[in-house]
Structure 1
Amino acid sequence: MTAMAGTSATPRGRTATAPPPPAGPRPRRIAALPTAALVLGALYCVVPTLWILVAATKSRTKLFSTDTYVPSLDLGLVHNIRDLSDYQHGIFWHWMLNSFFYATVGGVLASLVSAATGYALAKYAFRGRTALFNTILAGVLLPQIVLAVPQYLLLSKAGLTDSLLGVLLPQLFNPYGIYLCKIYAESAVPDSLLEAGRIDGAGEGRLFVSVGLRLMGPGLVTVFLLQFIAIWNNFLLPFVMLTSDDKFPLTVGLYSLLRHGAAEASLYSLVITGTLLSVLPVIALFLSLQRFWRIDLVTGALK
């Protein structure tokens, strides 16, 4: 017997059951948890930044006498910048230049060291390469506070404490930057291109400069930016190494200004204004280099 349309044949003694209704949309309680976590994380980052923006607009007399998140409209920020520039004959801007020097020179040199080391680990086979890479990778797990005292003792024996080299030399070796350069060199620098260069008579140094660095360009921009920010925000190393005020970076200089503010409360507004100004170069650098953040092998090869 032919079954009617829309029904199905069933064994004798059993009744046909309708198929279960389609499942409705799942509750969104699980999806709400990551969203709430992201919102809390955003507030954790935005609220202190908003407080600095608002507090920098207040004068010394209004900093603690007005509402916390109500900005002042009486040109308090302009007066704070002027007072900060006049403090100790403009030593704040000297600290700013020191931070630029440490971060720029240290970032460029550390990026080159990371590029050369990562390129060698990725493109050359030698005995102990795996053990060396694992040792370098283990350096990522070491906190800077553990290395501060040994670095100070080593550099003090070499007579490099309270000097620019005492701050720059420990920053040149970046384990995480070496790791990124190794991974990027493995994917961005083809072995066939290197073999073609060797056939044409190019030396290993020329291959690294002419081929390796050019193809690793986008990755090196990321390494430089990360190292620049790390040096710019570094406090412990220059605090241990330096004793002269004219060699301080912004982090140590603002800390010394805050320490003096414990006895003179009027300096708190200068510390807040200096903190706001110290963030602006990092934001500008991030926005200017953001367009280079791409893993584009074709573009890198054309360059």
Structure 2
Amino acid sequence: MRVDLKTLTAGTRLVGVKAKLGRKTYEDELEKLQIELVRLQQWVKQSGAKICVLFEGRDAAGKGGVIKAIMERVNPRVFRVIALPPPTEREKSQLYVQRYLPHLPAAGEVVVFDRSWYNRAGVERVMGFCTEEQATKFLASVGGVERAMVESGIILLKYWLEVSPEEQTRRIEARIDDPKKVWKLSPMDVLSYERWYDYSRARDAMFEASDTGWAPWFVAQSDDKKRARLNIISHLLSKVPYERIKVDKVKLPKRQKAGDYVEPDQPLHRIPELF
């Protein structure tokens, strides 16, 4: 039986046949949401809340852009991004989720996973880095692990970014010749590009096993990256019961007088002023 995917419908900005969002509208809306993220941050620090946000999805679906938009105005000591490298030989011998557990949020933290333990259900399964038995066992157990997280007080939000085959191709081709983006194109991206439907089957099996009442999946169509970012951030804010914390306005004190301090005649090496 296929699971009905929870399509992300935050606010009134739905991705579909609508015209792409203009830059000015996007920037105005993003600024409002980023102000709310700062307010969320203040509440998290004061309340001791623990928030864990996972971003999964197709290659080139826009996960990095969403995370960048979230992180742009917040404190990286409160909001932490976790993007783990491939496991070491020692980590391969551990319980699969074990290397992710030390990165889960403590009180007063928001942890954002740029890909997560669901690597086992996706790229590892499709590309043969784990056996079918290992993938099946992972899917059978992950719901219990996430229940334990939620019961410990973690607010767990799982997002899947979906992109059309045509848009994925356009974005990947754009990375090939762009020196600012070529780092985004890994050898694994190239190898996995042709396996669209293998990834579709793996995604469907992942949703079937792990779309639970305590940790549901939320799906965003991301062919329009700007709309997807606004939708996801709006939705994230709506899923956390934060309150606006009153913050006293800062008043700068008078700066001390120089007294006998004199600037040195020989400053340290200065960089060339080229602009």
Question: Could you tell me the TM-score, scaled by structure 1's length?
Answer: 0.22
Which entry has the higher C-alpha Rg, 1 or 2?
1
Higher strand fraction: Structure 1 or Structure 2? 2
Question: Could you tell me the TM-score, scaled by structure 2's length?
Answer: 0.24
Higher helix fraction: Structure 1 or Structure 2? 1
- Structure with higher RCO (Cα < 8 A, 6+ apart): 2
